[in-house]
Chains A and B, each alone.
Chain A
Amino acid sequence: MCLPLVYLGIVISDAPGTAWDALWRDRTARLAGRSLGLAAAVALSASAIAVAVAWLTTRTDLPGRRTWAVLAALPFVVPSYVGAYLFVSALGPGGVLVQMDWIYGFGGAWFVLTLFTYPLILLPVRAAMSRLDPALEEAARSMGRTPVDVFRTVLLPQLRPAIAGGALLAALYTLSDFGAVSILRFDSFTRVIYQSYKASFDRTGAAALAALLVLVMLVLFALEARLRRGRGSGRTSPGVARAATPVRLGRWTVPALLGCTTLVGVGLVIPVVTLAVWSTRAIAGEPEWSRILTGAGNSLLTGGLAAGAASLVALPIALLAARHPGRRTRVVEAMSSTGYVLPGLVVALAMVFVGIRVAPWAYQTLFIVVFALVVHFLPLALGSMRTALLQVPRSVEEAGRSCGRGPVSVWVTITAPLAIGGTLAGAALVFLTAVKDLPTLLLLAPTGFETLSTQIWSRTNVAAFEAGAIPALVLLAVSAPPLYLLVTKDR
């Protein structure tokens, strides 16, 4: 899983002097600061939105709450450069809806990336919330605490691991994103890495900067570990999962609905309407439907395979992290996550470099695509699976063992069913991220293997962005059913 790191090491050791120079340019520190600032801002705002939506859709009587959860997570499948462009054309100068000049720069990048990353926190937090023992909350409420108090003093502390893990993912996503920052003209660290590759064909400089990004990730990792340290969030009473009695929103129903409507309106309706308007123009050009359908099938195939494979690979690491925490485990976890903070192009080129030398038989096959996607997106599966396993109390497993069941039997009949919600949430995140991935597919897929994301790229590359509207809409449409299955499975 740390193959990208090996690649970076090899490239840098080729020309350490050049790498050193690239790091000591005056703008390196400035850009790292800017990018970290953006990542922190995005992580904070995305956490706030995600926790609110998660609470509303698991703990209250909000009408249509499962549908809201799916709709709120869906915008994530739009590739970030298309999404950013959609917002620029809807809200930017000369925009269709309103004109907001701040869309370029920090403000716009913060706004758009928040909308694109809060699902990374929403899905794990929702999964965690619906597995929490409602007894604690009920006890607190029976003693006269208000729902807000209960949320703050009982629910939130128990959710800390899930929120911290999700916020870390959002921050890392922001650091590695290229599409949104380049369209929104925010000068970030990743932009320089791309420029090193694309403008000056300087792989050493790019590798040095990418290595620095990994270092930053390790620091964030340590920070996250502090945030969730010492929190076991197992159920206090053994027993089967029981639905929490929903909080009656009462007169708050309308404001809550309004909030959800605004969020979905901004995050999903604006992009979809803009895409739909563009599609009507593109349809006049007689799109090749059979090709788009094949692309949709291939997207589902790669997304599904990546989600399944990532869950399988994450399992032993998550078990280790949940059951045997310690410094060594942290190292394993951190190493297996290095792929996530790196820009997609760097991971894809690392897999090119390693793949063609180590496994030429698999080079440019679906096998290496799935492998690369797992290397890239493993933390998405890992984080939420670990949180889920942490929520399974040891005492329940021990009870199973004491009744004479073997460890495998206990695992299959007790642990796995209890942790399935978080696992599926993680798989959903991998799926959503994999279907929009671009560099891995363009460089490593079998020749001629098209997915919706490569079709969007190909169309927007030769013509205007409008031309990519149909595959983008299809991507949203085909991602919705699997997402619905994964999001609503918990009860």
Chain B
Amino acid sequence: MSARKLCRLALTTSLVSTALALAACGGDDNNGLTVYSGRNEDLVGPLFERFEKESGVELNVRYADTAELASTLREEGEGSPADVFFGQDAGALGALEKEQLFAPLPPATLDGVPARYRSTGGTWVGTSARARVIGFDTRKVQEDAVPDSVFELVKPEYRGKVGWAPTNGSFQAFVTAMRKISGEDVAAKWLADMKANGAKAYDSNIVLRDAIAAGEVELGLLNHYYVLEAREADGADYPVGVHFVDGKDPGALVNVAGVGVLKSTDRSPDAQKLVDFLLAQESQQYFATETFEYPLAQGVPSPVGVPALDEIANPDVDLADLDDLAGTLALLEKAGVL
């Protein structure tokens, strides 16, 4: 093909595609309720679909990373097209509350959820919770032999037998909790001792869980639902169990995903409808049975195979205080864990 022909071809193609693209954009008017979702489509997409069907409110959902969406909302400010933010962790929700981007939620909505799982400022509310657990290889370890505190994992008997996922957000929130509860020095020492004891680092909770199932490590610091999920897929003889450590231990941290309504919304009735929908019995049931998280609305049973949320006493730490992730990352780096 001659250069000229190619040039002409390229030009035509780009003109045609520009025209097509602009035509495609033309149809994008902002009819529905806009949701910025830091929770993955696979997990919450079905819920949103049901909301559209039941309420008749059309949703435009933008899926991206929780922290990146929170940053986007801050850059957008007043003009944000978003009405509702659905975040993966309390840290991002707290940051947006601090920036005063959230509108207050009505007391009736807030009161549906225990006080520790919602914002003290009354602008966001937890929708589901996840607990930190020690996953264990049921073929090699009896549950009563699994330690009741993460601090025991530095003992010589666990040398090279424990896995963790230092890049994971929930792991880092747990370390932040340890710094708050037990102090900086204790946390730093624990990290160093764990490393010296041969803790194996994995890239994600999923890889870590699979490593326990494959017999690579006997114990692993996980979120509870990763195990429940695999047990559901693989059947009851799945070789990984979950052990809840003592309630006072930082290793018993329970973190939440939650939702808030943006101050800049011009559709607050619909936004409120969505928040209430997420806290309604049926949706809460969905979290328990489909994503294996703890429902937070009162009276909805926990997922099968784990103790109820109010039975696993929780270390005494305010979720909103877990926002010093930067300090935790610095600590992890210093310990040579990251």
* Contact residues, B283-338 vs A (CB, 8 A): 323-326, 328-329, 333, 338
Given contacts A349-B75, A448-B60, contact A365 B204 (CB under 8 A): no
B95 and A364 within 8 A (CB): no
Contact pick for A199, options B24, B61, B62, B326, CB 8 Å: B326
CB distance from A371 to the nearest CB of B (A): 12
Kindly name the residue among B4, B72, B338 whose own CB sees the greatest number of chain A CB atoms within 10 A: B72
| Interface window among B35-43, B186-194, B238-246 | B35-43
A366 and B329 within 8 A (CB): no
User: What is the predominant secondary structure among interface residues of chain B facing chain A?
Assistant: helix
Given contacts A420-B7, A448-B60, A458-B41, contact A201 B71 (CB under 8 A): yes
A367 beta carbon closer than 8 Å to chain B: yes
* Contact residues, B10-28 vs A (CB, 8 A): 10, 13-14, 17-18, 20-22, 24-25, 28
A439 and B68 within 8 A (CB): yes
B40 and A458 within 8 A (CB): yes
| Distance A417 CA – B69 CA, assembled complex (angstroms) | 45
| Distance A448 CA – B60 CA, assembled complex (angstroms) | 7
B4 and A417 within 8 A (CB): yes
| Distance A227 CA – B13 CA, assembled complex (angstroms) | 37
B150 beta carbon closer than 8 Å to chain A: no
CB distance from A268 to the nearest CB of B (A): 23
A447 and B28 within 8 A (CB): yes
Contact pick for B17, options A304, A420, A464, CB 8 Å: A304
B282 beta carbon closer than 8 Å to chain A: no
Residues of A near B324 (CB, < 8 A) are 200
| Distance A367 CA – B28 CA, assembled complex (angstroms) | 12
Contact pick for B79, options A357, A367, A447, A448, CB 8 Å: A357
Contact pick for A356, options B40, B80, B92, CB 8 Å: B80
| Distance A197 CA – B1 CA, assembled complex (angstroms) | 48
A443 and B61 within 8 A (CB): no
B67 and A464 within 8 A (CB): no
B122 beta carbon closer than 8 Å to chain A: no
A363 and B81 within 8 A (CB): yes
Q: Mark B70-101, 1 if CB is under 8 A from A, else 0.
A: 11101111011100000000001001000000
A200 and B63 within 8 A (CB): no
B64 beta carbon closer than 8 Å to chain A: yes
Contact pick for B325, options A88, A199, A448, CB 8 Å: A199
CB distance from A346 to the nearest CB of B (A): 10
Residues of A near B6 (CB, < 8 A) are 420, 424, 485, 489
Residues of A near B63 (CB, < 8 A) are 442, 458
B13 and A489 within 8 A (CB): no
Residues of B near A366 (CB, < 8 A) are 21-22, 24-25
| Distance A417 CA – B6 CA, assembled complex (angstroms) | 10
B71 and A197 within 8 A (CB): yes
* Contact residues, A201-231 vs B (CB, 8 A): 201-203
| Distance A345 CA – B328 CA, assembled complex (angstroms) | 22
B3 beta carbon closer than 8 Å to chain A: yes
CB distance from A230 to the nearest CB of B (A): 29
A198 and B68 within 8 A (CB): yes
CB distance from B15 to the nearest CB of A (A): 9
Given contacts A197-B67, A416-B7, A464-B210, contact A85 B203 (CB under 8 A): yes
A442 and B75 within 8 A (CB): no
Contact pick for B22, options A352, A367, A461, CB 8 Å: A367
A462 and B40 within 8 A (CB): yes
A199 and B74 within 8 A (CB): no
B65 beta carbon closer than 8 Å to chain A: yes
A280 beta carbon closer than 8 Å to chain B: no
| Distance A201 CA – B40 CA, assembled complex (angstroms) | 21
A199 and B329 within 8 A (CB): yes
| Distance A51 CA – B60 CA, assembled complex (angstroms) | 48
A198 and B76 within 8 A (CB): no
A447 and B3 within 8 A (CB): no
B17 and A201 within 8 A (CB): no
| Distance A424 CA – B75 CA, assembled complex (angstroms) | 36
A446 and B25 within 8 A (CB): yes
CB distance from A76 to the nearest CB of B (A): 20
B326 and A200 within 8 A (CB): yes
B17 and A301 within 8 A (CB): yes
| Distance A390 CA – B287 CA, assembled complex (angstroms) | 62
Which residue on chain A has the smallest CB distance to residue B99?
A201
B196 beta carbon closer than 8 Å to chain A: no
A203 and B71 within 8 A (CB): yes
Residues of B near A352 (CB, < 8 A) are 72, 75-76
B115 beta carbon closer than 8 Å to chain A: no
Residues of B near A417 (CB, < 8 A) are 3-4, 7
A464 and B80 within 8 A (CB): no
Given contacts A88-B203, A360-B79, contact A304 B13 (CB under 8 A): yes
Which residue on chain B has the smallest CB distance to residue A205?
B326
B67 and A461 within 8 A (CB): no
CB distance from A405 to the nearest CB of B (A): 16
CB distance from A345 to the nearest CB of B (A): 6
A195 beta carbon closer than 8 Å to chain B: yes
Which residue on chain B has the smallest CB distance to residue A308?
B14
Which residue on chain B has the smallest CB distance to residue A490?
B3
Q: Mark A401-430, 1 if CB is under 8 A from B, else 0.
A: 000000000000000110011001001000
| Distance A352 CA – B25 CA, assembled complex (angstroms) | 18
B34 beta carbon closer than 8 Å to chain A: yes
A183 and B72 within 8 A (CB): no
A169 beta carbon closer than 8 Å to chain B: no
B72 and A349 within 8 A (CB): yes
The 10 closest A-B pairs by CB, nearest first: A308-B14, A199-B325, A200-B326, A198-B67, A442-B64, A462-B40, A201-B95, A447-B60, A353-B75, A420-B3
Q: List 15 A-B contacts (CB under 8 A).
A: A88-B203, A203-B71, A308-B18, A356-B79, A356-B80, A365-B25, A366-B21, A442-B62, A442-B68, A447-B60, A447-B61, A448-B61, A458-B42, A461-B65, A464-B210
- Could you tell me which A residues sit within 8 Å of B by CB distance? 85, 88, 94, 182-183, 185, 187, 195-203, 301, 304-305, 308-309, 345, 349, 352-353, 356-357, 360, 363-367, 370, 416-417, 420-421, 424, 427, 439, 442-443, 446-448, 458, 461-465, 485, 489
- Could you tell me which B residues sit within 8 Å of A by CB distance? 1, 3-4, 6-7, 10, 13-14, 17-18, 20-22, 24-25, 28, 34, 40-43, 60-65, 67-72, 74-77, 79-81, 92, 95, 167, 203-204, 206-207, 210, 216, 323-326, 328-329, 333, 338
Given A199-B329, A462-B40, 5 additional A-B pairs, CB 8 A: A201-B74, A352-B72, A356-B77, A442-B64, A489-B1
